[in-house]
């Protein structure tokens, strides 16, 4: 059976911006994946080849609303992240109404994009990614807690084992569930 390869598009008119974002995306996306870097004017050609799983694009184009409308129609299931210098509340509302998942300012990129991509895409492509890759989005402490949980320990026992409070265990588990897009039950059923 052939597994679906994650397809990511990086669209923007400024080559230097695309180059910088390519590095961020390449470090953040599950492997293997297909990463296409192109100017916005190439979007119709790309859409003719198939639908992306994720689109990161630069809103600095004059016709950014047209881009939103095309992507909403032609790639409705893609995770869309749009980057702009700044967003007004009306612009952000319009973008989200047209299917954009996240509107980021340029200053948010380095701090926000890697975690966002890992959190949203690793769970969706866990059947493509090996379990080790899926778990790599977790901190060392979160991995210890998951392992203890999958070995049958409850929160209090995990806390005693690791020398932390039960509320800290609970906080770590909430982060694990968010990062992996899972629940406690699913984590126990699909343990390593």
Distance CA 192, CA 187 (A): 9
Residue 180 or 132, more confident: 180
Does residue 170 surpass a pLDDT of 90?
yes
The residues, ordered by sequence, that sit 6+ positions from 13 with a Cβ below 8 Å of its Cβ are: 39, 40, 41, 58, 60, 61
Other C-beta atoms closer than 10 Å to the C-beta of 80 total 25
Name the fold adopted by 138-189.
Arc Repressor Mutant, subunit A (1.10.10)
List pLDDT tens digits, range 30-50.
666 788 888 888 888 888 888
Cα separation, 169 vs 172, in Å, equals 5
Question: What is the value of pTM for the model shown?
Answer: 0.59
To the nearest whole number, what is the mean pLDDT of the chain?
80
Instruction: Identify the pLDDT of residue 186.
Output: 73
Q: Which residue did the predictor score with more confidence, 191 or 187? A: 187
Instruction: List every span in the chain annotated with CATH 1.10.10.10.
Output: 138-189
pLDDT at 166: 94
pLDDT in tens, 76-124: 888 888 888 888 889 888 888 888 888 888 878 777 888 777 776 655 5
The segment(s) of the chain belonging to CATH 3.40.50.2300 are 6-124
Does domain 6-124 sit in CATH 3.40.50.2300? Answer: yes
């Amino acid at each position: 059976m052939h597994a679906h390869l994650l397809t990511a598009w990086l669209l923007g008119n400024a080559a230097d911006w695309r180059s910088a974002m390519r590095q961020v995306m390449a470090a953040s996306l599950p492997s293997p994946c297909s990463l296409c870097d192109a100017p916005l004017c190439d979007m119709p050609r790309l859409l003719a080849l198939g639908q992306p799983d994720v689109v990161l694009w630069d809103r600095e184009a004059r016709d950014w609303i047209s881009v939103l409308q095309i992507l909403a129609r032609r790639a409705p299931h893609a995770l869309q992240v749009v980057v702009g210098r700044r967003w007004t509340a009306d612009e952000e509302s319009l973008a989200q109404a047209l299917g954009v998942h996240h509107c980021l300012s340029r200053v948010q990129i380095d701090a926000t994009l890697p975690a966002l991509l890992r959190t949203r895409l690793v769970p969706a492509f866990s059947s493509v990614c090996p379990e080790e890759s899926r778990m790599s989005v977790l901190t060392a402490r979160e991995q210890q807690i998951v392992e203890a949980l999958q070995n049958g320990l409850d929160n209090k026992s995990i806390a005693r084992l690791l020398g932390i409070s039960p509320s800290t265990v609970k906080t770590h588990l909430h982060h694990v569930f968010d990062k992996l897009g899972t629940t406690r039950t699913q984590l126990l059923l699909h343990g390593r």
